[in-house]
Structure 1
């Protein structure tokens, strides 16, 4: 089909909302907004749906407000609509989303002459949408802008088609049933968006699973090493499943954040149905792997998932409790690592873990508050902290980090260390390095030079890697002193 002649008189343009004007879908967004208010609404959704999709949408719209000004707009298409409106073309918004949301979008944009949306008794989708458009237009021709194959029946009745956020294949199909006026190709790749949303860089946290294997001096046991590796994979997939769920529940607050607004769901780069399918699949694979390990590991993974769910829905909005829960989730990785190789984690390891990871959790919150203060905002979206809490968090976080070093020193000075290590004195190198690392992390945080995710900062920080290398060397000397001594240039 030929492109439309821009000089011709253009018929009214009817515009779809979900996936067309915006990159997301308001039904899915509002469902997760509802679950964020109260997760137990999930049991009411089937009851509402039994009375029809229109009724369900109405019930959700009465309970969930959408901040339309923060939605991920298809900016290129929106610029096109503004140009068409300025040229005198009539624009109509027709959407299967509830009419409350449709009106809110129009109030924000001020572009459309008329708005059609779903009501409590009518779901404006498919043939019902076409009938509503035809009733509105009468015998007048109209153009239609949409994004999905389900819209082909409306395009076949339209005088021209505007295809938005779809590939060339759909544009060609639309061009076979009517004249193709414009095509705005999809700019985001779902696979790339899913990869980003899974946050594979965060899998580094799960390297903690190998710590019990190293500290139990069984790193050369191939069977146990394989078990730890399987545990690492299971925890990583489970964590990615949680990240996807967390981002879906945090859509609105993420869009208010200076960096989280670029996350795939918040930016509309990843469709919500794809995300839901992925989080379910990742969770199933994680537990399938877990069942090949000792039963205790399955219990730990299940408890970890339950706590991360509780954190995503409730606990992260409770001041200080959120930091303690984060520290506990890190510690559970150590417990899982011990469970995978069927050993018991020591008191010293768990105590050190709680204190050091509480310090890191508070670094994360302090950094977010610092960005909030610089942006002249009064409260951190989705959190219970305010800029006035910065000093308190800094004091608590620094103290917690130093307590971790104290626990390490007490452990090194204990009687059991001489039984486990050939040269325990080498472990004392760890204390000044940890003191330096904790102090430097908080110094950079107070200066505003810390990434809002300390894990990301740690991975990129050259000094941290050097410290880790030196610490690893000290640990090797402590464990393998007898084997290493002949190769060291020592006197006598």
Structure 2
């Protein structure tokens, strides 16, 4: 019997959708951290610098997608037994085959290897990110505290990649602020996983409690605010007006977690809460306004 063309088209369309799901395009929002050096260096009016930063963010997005593919391939059997991931993860749901995911992964790695000849410094940082996340998938995500720090270091590497793309130095204050903010987000994510999935979501959750990760999140949020304020006051005094926005953002994010049951995915929390999204946009706009070059 000849194959039904309509069935073949539907299958192909379903596979394409599954491959796009495997890339987790919504999570690319996290790679906006790559653009932080563009803003803080004052190069946001320089078109070549904007292009370099956007390319670095795109490359980091491809690398992040590659880590998701590796993680989903590694966890496919576990995800098939999970009540939610068995339906939302394309490999576990059978929408995409492991061989198709492998071809996608090869394409992502190939693009990054090719990019080395264009942005070698950025790709070197990305290589460190890929190795770190491979270790996370295999070992580190099962180690309490280390798992949270591994996630946070990934955000620090994003900022460093952005600095490499522009060949500009990054203030130590920015690094430590990024680390604290990322630890806050990672601890909040663990809290919500515990609240919604209990200790059955992953093995490392058995080693945590909601009270413990709450304290981690509070400590990290305090550190982020203090270090950001010190950075602004010491290096960018014109940006002192952004401190209330940062404080409101931290408060609002915790409200989304505690009262609205969000925060298991920082991306979903940002895109799903208009006040949080508006705060981020206002912060970006205020930073650009404060750092706008004065006429000679």
> In the alignment, what sits opposite 2:257?
445
Within the candidate set 277, 284, 288, 2:110 is matched to 284
Separation of aligned partners in 1, 2:83 and 2:244 = 35
Partner SS, residue 336 of structure 1? helix
> In the alignment, what sits opposite 1:244?
69
Aligned length: 293
- 1:255 to partner: Cα distance: 3.1
- Distance of aligned partners of 1:350 and 1:253 in 2 relative to their CA distance in 1, 3 Å threshold: same
Aligned residues of 2:151 and 2:186 also touching (Cα < 8 A) = yes
In the alignment, is residue 254 of structure 1 matched against residue 79 of structure 2?
yes
Partner SS, residue 236 of structure 2? helix
Aligned residues of 1:253 and 1:382 also touching (Cα < 8 A) = no
Within the candidate set 128, 137, 148, 1:323 is matched to 148
- Distance of aligned partners of 1:226 and 1:326 in 2 relative to their CA distance in 1, 3 Å threshold: same
> In the alignment, what sits opposite 1:397?
217
| Offset from partner CA, 1:167-220 (integer Å, 9 cap, x none) | 526999xxxxxxxxxxxx959711110001100111111121111111111112
Separation of aligned partners in 2, 1:454 and 1:281 = 27
Larger radius of gyration: 1
Separation of aligned partners in 1, 2:12 and 2:38 = 45
Separation of aligned partners in 1, 2:144 and 2:247 = 27
Higher relative contact order (CA 8 A, sep 6+): 2
* Backbone CA RMSD of aligned residues: 2.4
> In the alignment, what sits opposite 2:204?
384
Partner SS, residue 384 of structure 1? helix
- Distance of aligned partners of 1:383 and 1:448 in 2 relative to their CA distance in 1, 3 Å threshold: farther
Partner SS, residue 70 of structure 2? helix
> In the alignment, what sits opposite 1:221?
46
Which has the larger strand fraction? 1
> In the alignment, what sits opposite 2:230?
410
In the alignment, is residue 311 of structure 1 matched against residue 130 of structure 2?
no
Which has the larger helix fraction? 2
- 1:387 to partner: Cα distance: 8.3
Partner SS, residue 386 of structure 1? helix
- Distance of aligned partners of 1:203 and 1:242 in 2 relative to their CA distance in 1, 3 Å threshold: same
> In the alignment, what sits opposite 1:6?
none
> In the alignment, what sits opposite 1:273?
99
Partner SS, residue 267 of structure 1? coil
Aligned residues of 1:203 and 1:236 also touching (Cα < 8 A) = yes
Aligned residues of 2:163 and 2:170 also touching (Cα < 8 A) = yes
Bigger Cα displacement from structure 2, 429-438 vs 206-215: 429-438
- Distance of aligned partners of 1:296 and 1:279 in 2 relative to their CA distance in 1, 3 Å threshold: same
The runs of 4+ residues in structure 1 deviating greater than 6 Å are none
- Distance of aligned partners of 1:452 and 1:187 in 2 relative to their CA distance in 1, 3 Å threshold: farther
Per the normalisation by structure 2, the TM-score is 0.91
Per the normalisation by structure 1, the TM-score is 0.56
Bigger Cα displacement from structure 2, 461-470 vs 194-203: 461-470
In the alignment, is residue 168 of structure 1 matched against residue 168 of structure 2?
no
Separation of aligned partners in 1, 2:262 and 2:19 = 26
Aligned residues of 1:398 and 1:438 also touching (Cα < 8 A) = no
In the alignment, is residue 430 of structure 1 matched against residue 242 of structure 2?
yes
Aligned residues of 1:241 and 1:283 also touching (Cα < 8 A) = yes
Aligned residues of 2:39 and 2:288 also touching (Cα < 8 A) = no
Structure 2 unaligned spans of 5+: none
Separation of aligned partners in 1, 2:113 and 2:163 = 17
Separation of aligned partners in 2, 1:397 and 1:404 = 10
| Offset from partner CA, 1:355-414 (integer Å, 9 cap, x none) | 0011101111111110124xxxxx234331238611110111122012101111111221
Aligned residues of 1:254 and 1:260 also touching (Cα < 8 A) = yes
Structure 1 unaligned spans of 5+: 2-148, 150-166, 173-184, 374-378, 419-423, 484-492
Partner SS, residue 203 of structure 2? coil
Within the candidate set 254, 265, 282, 1:470 is matched to 282
